[in-house]
Structure 1
Amino acid sequence: MPSDPLFDSQESLVDRKKILSYTRILNHLFEHGSNSIAKLAKEIHTSVPSVTAMLDELKQHEWVREKGASKTKSGRRPVNYGINGSKKVALVLDINLYETNFIFINLNNEIITKTSFEIDLEKETYLKEIIREVDQLLKINDQPWAIGISAPGLIETESGLNYTHQNLNKENKSLALVLEEKYKLHVFNINDTRASLLGEHHYGLARNKKNVLLVNLDWGVGLGILHNGQIVEGAAGFAGELGHVQVYPDGELCACGKIGCLETVASASTIVRKAKAGLKEGKATSLNQENKDLFLSDVIAAAINGDEFSIDIIYEVGRELGKGLAMAVHLFNPETIIIDGILKNAGDLIVSTVKQSINKYCLVPFKQNLDVIISPLGDDAKVYGTKSFVFKKMMEYYAN
């Protein structure tokens, strides 16, 4: 595994304590941005001379750099220090149901390269094709610091196994472990919805907030939960599977094998399925009825352009989603709900109907001052969050 000279020496207790202090400084700067020596000393409960010495060493190893002086009313202005964003580059695998993105990104969220690969996640050869693509990318890019994998489905925290998409596992090994053994790099798995929430927490609409829900409206429905400033994972890492809460006991069969899950009435798959059924029945619509391949983007575009049939479908999905979210609002009492995923492209068509439904099904005290918004970060939130997850895990590795 690639190492860093700053963290190599762990021979004595003093060395280990010093390395632990390095990681605490770096974690603080990563999460909070630049800070002065005095404030850092206060935050990590260490003396000013000790922090000064450690910052000097971190500067020598190019982990931190000076970020300018703080504004003060009088006296000498203290110098602020921050993470050197170009120090490390991570490779992020952003896995979606029908497309996988390979992104090299530095600690400043600057994307070095991005490659998209269209392949169905349920395809049996998925793992082989992904590894072949990583092989090619590592030949033309410098070796990354580590790899972060964002993927949909139930991902167990300890093993990294994906219980929803079995093609991401090989012989009871997670994709992360398979790549780690092959490339001798640190590789970490995170659920895609949780990655998006982590990105929002560090860089977006959940920054400086303590209670936020992020609903991932994709081909399924995922829920990211920020509760009292902490992202909720659950005992095994499965927290937030809102899409598999039963809302209709006599409803349709879900892909998970259960009946009447929220995903059967409130997802991108629902919209496409309803649109195809309506076309088959001869409903009046501006959608091209001769086109055998109907895509979600077609329905959203038609709705935005005023097609009543398409608007009604999105309205129904938003209404059902709002019902499901009302349960989550009553459980977690959030200050903000962030709409993410492919359905965010429907904009106010989906947000307004979700708001109406929450307004109808939530108790008054819960919906007062509750914002329902689409993040301007969009798909970048997931990439930024995965990179942040990699940073956190690498700091844990150095500390231990």
Structure 2
Amino acid sequence: MLSQKNDDERSVKEINQSRILQSIKIHDSISRIELAEEIDLNPSTITRLVKKLEKFNLVREIDLGKSRGGRRPVKLGIDESTYRVIGVDVGATEVIAVLINLAGEVLHKIVLPIEYKEAKREVEISPEVIEKSIEKLLSTYSEKERRQELENILGIGVGVHGLVDRDEGLSIFAPNFGWRNINFKKKLTEKFRMKTIIDNDVRVMALGEYWFGHGQNVDNLICINAGYGIGSGIIIEGELYRGHNSLAGEFGHTNVEKDGQLCSCGDYGCLETLASGPALVKRIRREIKRGMSSKIIEMTEGELSEISGEMISAAARKDDELARRILKKAGNYLGMGIANLINIFDPELILIGGGVSRAGPYIFAPLHETVARKTMNSAPEIKKVQLGEDCGAVGAGVLVIEELFRRPETFMEEIACNKPTIQ
């Protein structure tokens, strides 16, 4: 589940603590004897390490297992009741901030709508929206409740589209937002005095599904976000793949149409210009202006600037021929791109999220047909993300949980030295 790279930075004790947490997470519950057998450690060592994890309120005794002769063993589970993590997903149409526990359960959630400026072909969003979303998330608690929650919040995870330097906490380039070189780690750490980790939005979607969604116990998967933009998060042998320059997964900027339309990245003919939400809106608006009939004209009362991806899906469900034709074409293009990913990475599972995926069979039927035709071997299972619209925000929270599981003792000692604040 967790990368074993940089093990030289951790003590043997902390590596074994991490292995214990991973085993408990995978099994849901497991006894100390079973842990000793699985991790190949002395039972007394397991007992000592577990005691430390219990002291940190990361592990607790939950029930009794089956007897192998003699007393029934006590089962251990992750303590989900004590700690919280904040996850923020900065999307094109909305920012979702959630408070989750260590089981990935959403305990509290807020949504901030985002305005799209069509004339600028970009989203009107200030970097400060992340701070505002966190403040709003906690503002619904009473003063007493807020203080209690702050004591138990382990950190903040953020998912942002575009090129991200995870180590520096830097949004290097977010083309759809017009952001360059914004250090969110520094901003959020200074304001809230919480550990902050930032990564690419689709990568955190993949993490969310891998830890708490359909991707649990699947070591090779690809998660695709098809909405305002198109991207992919890639899990290989249980590890998130970022690539040498952290550019892995920029699936939407693969070229599929020579001399095609201009993309936000500056190139022409990218998949994003053919199968993203804005691309669908642009295409159906163009067809209507050319005289094609559509129920969307009634739905918008002739105001074509009001067309949205949701309207196109709704029109398709009402047997609108134009909407169905445009969704079918987008599904074919997505299928071509996904078939390429399958032929390169050979994943066990493909997960699809984002607004375009809500078109249901009108996107998925042509997508499946194209994938089946263009993959070299039998295609893997393809389905929608399990966590729905919360996938990115929960996955952003996983950034913090993953770090906790990798370095439990060091992490908890660092938390003890920094008390969170909120104004």
Task: Report if TM-score (shorter chain) is over 0.5.
Answer: yes
* Code of the aligned partner of 1:380: D
Aligned to 1:227: 236
Structure 2: stretches of 5+ with no match in the other structure: 1-9, 117-121, 411-423
Conserved? CA contact 2:81–2:101, under 8 Å:
yes
How far apart, CA to CA, are the structure 2 residues paired with 1:59 and 1:129? 37
Deviations along 1:137-181, one digit per CA (max 9) or x if unpaired, are 4554332220010122221232232233276968x4421221012
Q: Contact conserved, 1:156 with 1:238, CA < 8 A, in 2?
A: no
1:63, CA displacement in angstroms? Answer: 2.0
Q: Match of 2:385?
A: 375
Question: Is 1:39 aligned with 2:49?
Answer: no
Which amino acid letter does the alignment assign opposite residue 196 of structure 2? V
Measure the CA separation in 2 of the matches of 1:362 and 1:125.
Answer: 39
Tell me the residue number matched to 2:223: 214
Partner of 2:268, secondary structure, is: coil
For the 8 Å contact 1:347–1:374, the answer to whether it is kept is no
2:264 is aligned, of 231, 255, 268, to 255
Partner of 1:342: 355
Measured after TM superposition, the shift of residue 119 of structure 1 is: 2.5
Distance in 2, matches of 1:168 and 1:308, equals 36
Question: Structure 1 residues 388 and 315, CA, compared in 2 at 3 Å: closer, same or farther?
Answer: same
Q: How does 1:184-203 map to 2 (within 5 A)?
A: 184-203=193-212
Contact 2:158 2:397 (C-alpha < 8 Å) held by counterparts = no
1:327–1:82 Cα change, 3 Å: same
Counterpart-to-counterpart distance in 2, 1:191 and 1:178: 17
Q: Does 1:48 align with 2:57?
A: no
Q: Is the 8 A contact 2:115 2:124 kept in 1?
A: no
Match of 1:317 in 2: 330
State the partner residue of 1:236. 245
- Is 1:58 the equivalent of 2:53? yes
Q: Say whether the 8 Å CA contact 2:222–2:235 is kept in structure 1.
A: yes
Query: Greater relative contact order: 1 or 2 (C-alpha under 8 angstroms, separation 6 or more)?
Result: 2
Deviates more, 1:350-359 or 1:42-51: 42-51
Equivalent residue in structure 2 for 1:290, among 280, 302, 308: 302
Contact 1:88/1:107 (CA < 8 Å) preserved in 2?
A: yes
Aligned-pair distance for 1:184? 1.4
Instruction: Return closer, same or farther for 1:264/1:136 CA change in 2, 3 Å cut-off.
Output: closer
Counterpart mapping for 1:77-116 below 5 A:
77-116=72-111
Residue 313 of structure 2 is matched in structure 1 by 300
Q: CA RMSD in A?
A: 2.5
What's the counterpart of residue 134 of structure 2?
A: 134
User: What is aligned with 1:26?
Assistant: 21
Residues 138/336 of structure 1: CA separation in 2 closer, same or farther (3 Å cut): closer
Q: How does 1:105-184 map to 2 (within 5 A)?
A: 105-120=100-115, 126-138=126-138, 140=141, 141=146, 142-143=149-150, 144-165=153-174, 172-184=181-193
Deviation at 1:120, TM superposition (A): 4.0
Greater displacement, 249-258 / 382-391: 382-391
Please state if 1:392 is matched with 2:393: no
Structure 1 pair 148–332 and aligned structure 2 pair: CA distance change class (3 A): same
Consecutive unaligned residues of structure 1, counting only runs of 5 or more, are 1-14
Percent of aligned pairs sharing the same letter = 29
Secondary structure of the residue aligned to 1:90 is strand
Once the two structures are TM-superposed, the CA of residue 70 in structure 1 deviates from its matched residue by 2.7
Over 3 Å counting, the alpha-carbon distance change for 1:125 and 1:227 in structure 2 is closer
- TM-score w.r.t. structure 1 length? 0.87
For 1:53 and 1:229, the matched residues in 2 are separated by 28
TM-score of the aligned structures, taking structure 2 as reference length: 0.83
Determine the C-alpha separation between the residues in 2 that align with 1:195 and 1:323.
Answer: 24
Contact 2:24 2:78 in 1 (8 A): yes
After superposition, the C-alpha distances for 1:211-241 in whole angstroms (9 at most, x for unaligned) are 2222211111111222233321112322111
Contact 2:170 2:183 in 1 (8 A): yes
* Separation (CA, whole Å) in 1 of partners of 2:330 and 2:123: 28
Q: Which one-letter code corresponds to 2:333 in the other structure?
A: E
